[in-house]
């Protein structure tokens, strides 16, 4: 749903890099260059951005059931 604040494995902040990651990805920047610019060296932190699926817009379409 929402991008996790910290990496599940090492605890590094990753949520603050999400918007920049999306901008660079839209510009067709190579993945190695994206992670170099974002200063993400560990694979666990990279995984947090690569594997995230942003579903919040899909969930907000539905009303709450009481």
Element holding 3 (H helix, E strand): none
Per-residue model confidence (pLDDT) at position 1: 56
pLDDT in tens, 8-31: 999 999 999 999 999 999 999 999
**CB-CB neighbours of 20 under 10 Å:** 13
The domains of the chain, with CATH numbers, are 15-59 (1.10.10.60)
| Widest Cα–Cα separation across the chain | 47
Q: What is the distance between the alpha carbons of residues 49 and 17, in angstroms, rounded to a whole number? A: 9
The model's confidence at residue 52, banded by pLDDT at 50, 70 and 90, is confident
Terminus-to-terminus CA distance in the chain, angstroms? 21
DSSP conformational letter for 66: -
């Amino acid at each position: 749903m929402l991008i996790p604040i910290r990496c599940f494995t090492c605890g590094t902040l990753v949520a603050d890099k999400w918007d920049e990651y999306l901008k660079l990805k839209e510009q067709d920047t190579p993945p190695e260059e994206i992670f170099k610019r974002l200063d993400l060296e560990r694979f666990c932190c990279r995984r947090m951005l690569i594997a995230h699926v942003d579903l919040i817009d899909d969930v907000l379409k539905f009303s709450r059931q009481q």
